[in-house]
Chain A
Amino acid sequence: MAKATAAVREKRFYLDVKWIIILAIVAFLVVFEVFPMLYLVYRAFMSEGSFSLEAFRRVYTYPINWSALKNTLITGGLSMIFGVMIAFPLAWLVGRTNLYGKKFFRTLFVMTYMVPPYVGAMAWLRLLNPSVGNLNVFLKNLFNLAENPFNIYSVGGLVWVLTSFYYPYAFITISRAMEKMDPSLEEASKISGASPLKTVMTVTLPMMAPSLVAAALLVFVSAASCYGIPSIIGAPGQVHTVTTRIIEFVNIGSQEGLTDATTLAVFLMVVANLVLYVSTFVVGKKQYITVSGKSTRPNIVDLGKWRLPVTLLVVLFAIIVVVIPFATVALTSFTVNMGKPLLSFENGKLITDNFTLKFWERIATRKAILSSAKNSLVFAVLAATIGILISCVMSYLLQRTNVRGKSIPDFLITVGSGTPSVVIALALIMTMSGRFGINIYNTMWIMIIAYLIKYLLMGMRTVVSAMSQIHPSLEEASLISGGSWLRSFKDVTIPLIAPSVVAGWFLIFMPCFYELTMSTLLYSTDTKTLGYELFTYQTYHSQQTAAALATAILVLVVLANWLLNKLTKGEFSI
């Protein structure tokens, strides 16, 4: 009898550890994610102390807000359409044809995913400025035009930059789906007599449809909730979006300003969560899981005589979308007078007057920049480390246990990641400045928490997918040897998933390190970040200094990618 009770107690305790961990994660998410977001909705409707649509009336009757709303939907929608139109053929060419340099292109396109979007805005600003844009002037002279062909300070300009920075999101999603598809499904169509085109239309595309929709929605939400690009490109041309309006309202600083920001944020939140709902629960359910019996090489389509021309087209695309903008930013950081070329020839002599290292010197010596860089590093390391710990435990709970309620934190983490950064930051400001007993405003913790809510999912997905590859019997063998589950986790699971843990850490670290949107809203004098510093220099002080910072970040992204590749023995790169 006594023995049986002991066994039961032991079993209870065994479950309790998991429960405590789940409860801790859920409590964290409820306090810092669910409650703030609900409060945001509450605030929007209860601005007068009782239920009222007054705030909505005020905000949405203001024409500038209407146009912001319209611009957000238009730029988001168009970026989505163009993004998928670019990503699908690229993913197909890189994944399923004998394109030259496939591997290189793949790395190149995936890596742009890790570049902060505002870098693109900075580059295109210089290239397509309506009066002095380098590319504009070049094209004008080349084709003998009366005036400069492009104006970046427009809705069209915004769509262009958003598309060129968010298509990698679709590219990654679509590539993955293509890789997972059993090639014999297409072979079966061919042997049935269908031409390659017919096979694409009747088998490949329908099978890919759910992933295409998911990719499109991802681009839409990312573009619509982007702040860096519209604030750099939209502001000079009076092209407003919901995100830029929200931050302007917050910067007014008054209660009314906050209420107006809240009301706009609720719109963005509803759009984002609706999209998240559709892509996870409606489209996600339709996902055709096709696991092939044995691993066959995917069908490689021979491009034949088109191989070279198509490759050249992809090269051209890469030059326009990747090389030119990055080179522009890098060159800007060495330029004294941006109205003049960096190097020029006069009477056969190289003129280097316009070349300078002073901006690089500045970012390496100026105290404010260095302390912001240090802040960013500390915040990002903390966020990534806490995040990866939660990811490991969560993936264990999700993949290995049947504990009830394990999907609650998973759901909340997914929602958090799908919520626009502006909304997360605003919600935290409203609730975490002492009104409800917690005051972490103006501390680094509010930023770390915001980063975690936004980027935790990236780490978790990586670890979960690694965990699903490891057969449970490996851990069961440790349990049967007498190890507790925490012990088994540490001794067996962690070493096996180590490469993915490293990759997941980087996936959280990188976006936190150069984060702009949330930092802009949450910083205080002591907690300025690199993204904020860069943005201030770009908008107010010196574009060259901003360019030097951006180039430094780019170099870091490449280095991090290389390091990750080394650490995981080639298994992962960003």
Chain B
Amino acid sequence: MSTITIKNVTKAFGDVVVLKEFDQVFQDKEFITLLGPSGCGKTTMLRMIAGFEKPTSGEISIDGKVVSSEKTFVPPERRDIGMVFQSYAVWPHMTVFDNVAYPLKIKKLDKATIKQKVEWILDAVHLSQYANRMPNQLSGGQQQRVALGRALVAEPKLLLLDEPLSNLDAKLRESMRFEIKEIQKNFGITVVYVTHDQTEAMAMSDRVIVINRGIIQQVGSPLEIYRHPANQFVADFVGKINFIKGQVKDGRVELTGLGQSLAYDGPLTGQVVVAIRPENIRLSLEKGELHGKIHSMFYLGDVNDCRIDINGEQVRVIADSHSYDALYGNEDVFLQVREFLVYEDDGSDDHTKIVT
């Protein structure tokens, strides 16, 4: 059982407010990801759960027990949490075995139990044959597993991960994602994961919390935040997107710069911004809602990444890779828009604007 309740938590360093009003409940065995650009406050939130930072105001409880509030503060060493740091923080003066055994030694378990548990966890993170190595003899990926093993060995109910994959290469990063997810399922623990990589967030999380400039932008399943982003920031930060200014008129939305329009029966009126994900547009030579000229095409193997020139403005389309053979530059094409989103236009061109 490990439920985390975060009540109206704020954090400021001096005059700089890094986190405004964070109010969430993380359920037991849930995989929660804090997603946002660097400096958005996500790491600060994680460090407050760990106990490395004190909230400026508000309250944090783990399993109904208050660990941080105006009156009480439980230091990190008494919170029974596992944590993996971005720099791994594997102690260079201890062997792999000693690194992983450390939390158990602190708990003063007997030697035989420690040995047995460490071996079990090293097996789980595929490091059995490296037990006696020093950290400087390990690769980055292996060090990362040592850190993971050390975080899990005491069987905490809560595991915190601070951008654990950001220092690994792309292939390793992908396989580690599934391993971490697998471990979470097998151990039945609550995980709070911090990242700025939306693919990581999508691949592992039950719920994603998108944060920008210290403010929660949206909370939802990976599908919800991708398909139904709450605002332009989320739409832009999660996945790729085209933003086109427009105006709602008589059941249609006119795309101002493009001189064309799409059918729209939504609630918004007046000035709007239309957001279309590039993979939601299909190119056709026969028919479509919009039409333009092919400006450029990039063959990326799995997809064909194109820019379509519509009345002087460019729209990005991610098309099926075979379309690369069928189309050629400057050709007139139609665009079939399968799905698009409409946001109110507040007049600013800043897509990363925040909702307060």
Interface positions of A (Cβ within 8 A of B):
182, 184-185, 187-196, 198-199, 202-203, 206-207, 288, 290-294, 299
Question: Do B106 and A192 touch across chains, with their CB atoms under 8 A apart?
Answer: yes
| 19 residue pairs A–B, Cβ–Cβ below 8 Å | A184-B86, A187-B50, A187-B52, A188-B90, A188-B91, A190-B51, A191-B50, A191-B76, A191-B77, A191-B79, A191-B82, A191-B160, A192-B150, A194-B102, A203-B91, A291-B87, A292-B87, A293-B86, A294-B87
Q: Which of B82-139 contact A (CB under 8 A)?
A: 82-83, 85-87, 89-93, 102-103, 106-107
A202 vs B106: C-alpha distance in the bound complex, in angstroms? Answer: 11
Could you tell me the distance between the alpha carbons of A288 and B166 in the complex, rounded to whole angstroms? 23
Question: B154 at the A/B interface (Cβ < 8 Å)?
Answer: yes
CA of A294 to CA of B93, assembled, Å: 21
- Given A188-B147, A194-B106, 9 more pairs with CB closer than 8 A: A185-B91, A190-B77, A191-B50, A191-B160, A193-B80, A207-B92, A207-B93, A288-B92, A290-B92
Q: Which of A185, A192, A199, A291 is close to B103, meaning CB atoms less than 8 Å apart?
A: A192
Q: What B residues does A195 contact at CB under 8 A?
A: 77
Check if B171 is an interface residue, CB within 8 A of chain A. no
Name which residue of chain B comes closest to A186, CB basis: B89
Q: How many residues of B contact A (CB 8 A)?
A: 31
Q: Give the CA-CA distance A206 to B87 in the complex, in Å.
A: 19
Binding site of B, secondary structure by majority: helix, strand, loop or mixed? loop
**Nearest chain A CB to B148's CB is how many angstroms away?**
12
Q: Which one of A188, A207, A288 lies within 8 Å of B83 (CB-CB)?
A: A188
List B contacts of A194 (CB < 8 A): 77, 102, 106
Q: Distance in Å from the Cβ of A418 to the closest Cβ of chain B?
A: 27
The CA of A184 and the CA of B78, in the complex, are separated in Å by 17
| Contact residues in B for A203 (Cβ distance below 8 Å) | 91
Interface residues of B in 182-211 (CB under 8 A from A): none
Minimum CB–CB distance from A200 to chain B (whole Å) comes to 13
Task: Pick from B77, B89, B93: contact of A182, CB below 8 A.
Answer: B89
A291 contact set on B, CB distance < 8 A: 87
With A193-B77, A193-B154, A195-B77 known as contacts, the answer to whether A188 contacts B106 (CB < 8 A) is no
Cross-interface CB contact of B107 among A193, A199, A202, A207, cutoff 8 Å: A193
Q: Output the nearest chain B residue to A191 by Cβ-Cβ distance.
A: B83
Q: Which residues of A contact B81 (CB under 8 A)?
A: 191
Which residue of chain A has the shortest Cβ distance to B85 in the bound complex? A184
Say yes or no: is B239 at the interface (Cβ < 8 Å to chain A): no
Tell whether, in the assembled complex, residue B93 and residue A187 are in contact, meaning their CB atoms are under 8 Å apart. no
> With A184-B86, A190-B75, A193-B107 in contact, do A206 and B102 touch (Cβ < 8 Å)?
no
Q: Shortest Cβ distance from B343 into chain A, in angstroms?
A: 33
Say yes or no: A288 contacts B150, CB within 8 Å: no
Q: Please give the distance in Å from B164's CB to the nearest CB on chain A.
A: 10
Chain A: minimal CB distance from B205 (Å):
22
Chain B residues near A184: list those with CB within 8 A. 85-87, 89
> Does B93 lie within 8 Å of A206, measured CB to CB?
yes
Q: Are A185 and B150 in contact (CB under 8 A)?
A: no
Question: In whole angstroms, how far apart are the Cα atoms of A198 and B78 in the complex?
Answer: 13
How distant is B140 from chain A, measured CB to nearest CB, in Å? Answer: 11
The distance in angstroms between the C-alpha atoms of A291 and B88, with both chains bound, is 11
* Chain A residue contacts of B166, Cβ below 8 A: 293
Give the Cβ gap from A553 to chain B, nearest Cβ, in Å.
Answer: 40
Alpha-carbon distance A182/B85, docked complex (angstroms)? 11
Q: How far is the CB of A282 from chain B (nearest CB, A)?
A: 16
> Is there a chain A Cβ closer than 8 Å to B167's Cβ?
yes
Tell me, in angstroms, the Cα distance from A74 to B106 when the chains sit together.
40
* Contact A193-B78, Cβ < 8 Å, known A182-B87, A293-B166, A294-B86: yes
Q: Chain B residues near A189 (CB, 8 Å)?
A: 91, 102
A192 touches B89 (CB 8 A): no
The 3 closest A-B pairs by CB, nearest first: A293-B87, A192-B103, A184-B89
CA distance A294 to B87 in the complex (A): 8
Min CB gap A486→B, angstroms: 38
Interface centre among A187, A193, A202, A294 (most CB of B within 10 A): A193
Shortest Cβ gap from B147 to chain A (Å): 8
Residues of A within 8 A of B91 (CB): 185, 188-189, 203, 207
Q: Please report the C-alpha to C-alpha distance between residue A293 and residue B87 in the assembled complex, in whole angstroms.
A: 5
A interface footprint on B150-168 (CB within 8 Å = 1, 0 otherwise): 1100100000100000110
Chain B residue with Cβ nearest A289: B92
**B48 CB to closest chain A CB, in angstroms?**
13
- Alpha-carbon distance A545/B224, docked complex (angstroms): 83
In the complex, what residues of B have CB within 8 A of residue A292's CB?
A: 87
- Tell me the B30-80 residues at the A interface (CB within 8 Å): 50-52, 75-80
Q: Check A293 against B167 for contact (C-beta < 8 Å).
A: yes
Q: Which residues of A have CB within 8 Å of B150?
A: 188, 192
Taking a contact as CB atoms under 8 Å apart, the answer to whether B89 and A187 are in contact is yes
Contact A192 B86, CB 8 Å, known A290-B92, A293-B166: no
What is the chain A residue whose CB lies nearest that of B103? A192
Q: Write out the residue numbers on chain A whose beta carbons fall within 8 Å of the beta carbon of B89.
A: 182, 184-185, 187-188
Instruction: For B77, list chain A residues within 8 Å (CB).
Output: 190-196, 199
Near A by CB (< 8 A), chain B positions 266-296 give none
Contact flags B166-184 to A (C-beta < 8 A → 1, else 0): 1100000000000000000
Task: Kindly state the separation between the CA atoms of A388 and B19 in the bound complex, as whole angstroms.
Answer: 48
Most-contacted residue by chain A among B78, B80, B92, B103 (CB, 10 A): B92
Q: How far apart sit A192 and B107, CA to CA, in the bound complex (Å)?
A: 9
| Least distance between A127 CB and chain B CB atoms (Å) | 43
**Chain B residue contacts of A202, Cβ below 8 A:** 102
Q: A198 with B83: in contact, given A193-B154, A206-B93 (CB under 8 Å)?
A: no
A207, B92: Cα distance in complex, Å: 8
Q: Using CB atoms, name the residue of chain B closest to A192.
A: B103
> Known interface pairs A184-B87, A193-B80, A293-B87. Does A288 touch B103 (Cβ–Cβ under 8 Å)?
no
**B85 nearest CB across to chain A (Å):** 4
Which of chain A's residues has its CB closest to B160's CB? A191
Closest chain A residue to B13, Cβ basis: A297
Query: From residue A177, how far is it (CB to closest CB) to chain B in Å?
Result: 13
Minimum distance in angstroms from A389 CB to a CB of chain B: 37
Docked complex Cα distance between A290 and B107 (Å): 27
Please, how many angstroms separate the alpha-carbon atoms of A185 and B77 in the complex? 14
Distance A185 CA – B91 CA, assembled complex (angstroms): 6
Tell me which residues across on chain B come within 8 A of A188, comparing CB atoms.
83, 85, 89-91, 147, 150
List the A side residues contacting B107 at CB < 8 Å.
Answer: 193
Residues in A with CB closer than 8 Å to B82 are 191
